[in-house]
Structure 1
């Protein structure tokens, strides 16, 4: 998998996650069970735990796709893709494990997995960034 392919997968994951929780919320809105402003920021969340966790997993993706994209795109634009092509896929794999842990629950073990996968992603991105200099 090339770095650009990994970036495309990361973008796809980031785009699909909100569709999952929208798939839960839109029927509630359309049937009148919840008002349109029910999910306004600052209000208590009453969605099922899985939906809340998927929303948080999505926001984690949003927070991290920017730095990942910048590193990958700089590597491609400067033709320094040897390291990014070898490493970027592992960022995506760690992200998928992090999302799975997010989805399953919030036990200490799962939070530890999430944190570990996040740290792995950060170090992989830093390694790719370092390879550009």
Structure 2
């Protein structure tokens, strides 16, 4: 697999891992009879701050996947992964860092670093879009 397709698979796997973690923690809450099975809100607003951050980190991945993953998929399908290959792992790394920072803290420093990780992803995506459209 090319770096682009490997990074795309990694992005999807990371999104899935966050979902699996959230559902495992929710299942634990239900089995411990701390929360009724039908009492969960999509944003986990009625749960701990960590669970709220986890829901948001997962949602961030879902929001970014059509853009970042879409560009990687377009490049791969068009036979132009040479455009995305050099920065594919950087994009995936920035996504994972963003999520981990989201999970770890809401401090001003963590939020600033999280935004920086997202900015890296946006800059890479803009670069890819321009390069893919230019040819």
User: In the alignment, which residue of structure 2 is the partner of 1:30?
Assistant: 31
User: In the alignment, which residue of structure 2 is the partner of 1:114?
Assistant: 114
Deviation at 1:41, TM superposition (A): 4.6
Q: Given the alignment of the two structures, is residue 131 of structure 1 paired with residue 92 of structure 2, yes or no?
A: no
2-side partners of 1:47 and 1:40: how far apart?
A: 9
Residues 88-128 of structure 1 show CA distances to partners (whole Å, capped at 9, x for unaligned) of 11111111111111111100000001111111101101111
Q: Structure 2: which 5+ residue stretches go unaligned?
A: none
User: In the alignment, which residue of structure 2 is the partner of 1:8?
Assistant: 9
2-side partners of 1:11 and 1:117: how far apart?
A: 18
Q: Given the alignment of the two structures, is residue 54 of structure 1 paired with residue 54 of structure 2, yes or no?
A: yes
User: In the alignment, which residue of structure 2 is the partner of 1:21?
Assistant: 22
User: In the alignment, which residue of structure 2 is the partner of 1:78?
Assistant: 78
TM-score, length-scaled by structure 2: 0.89
TM-score, length-scaled by structure 1: 0.90
SS at match of 1:131: helix
Cα root mean square deviation, aligned: 1.7
2-side partners of 1:2 and 1:126: how far apart?
A: 18
Query: Aligned residue pairs: how many?
Result: 132
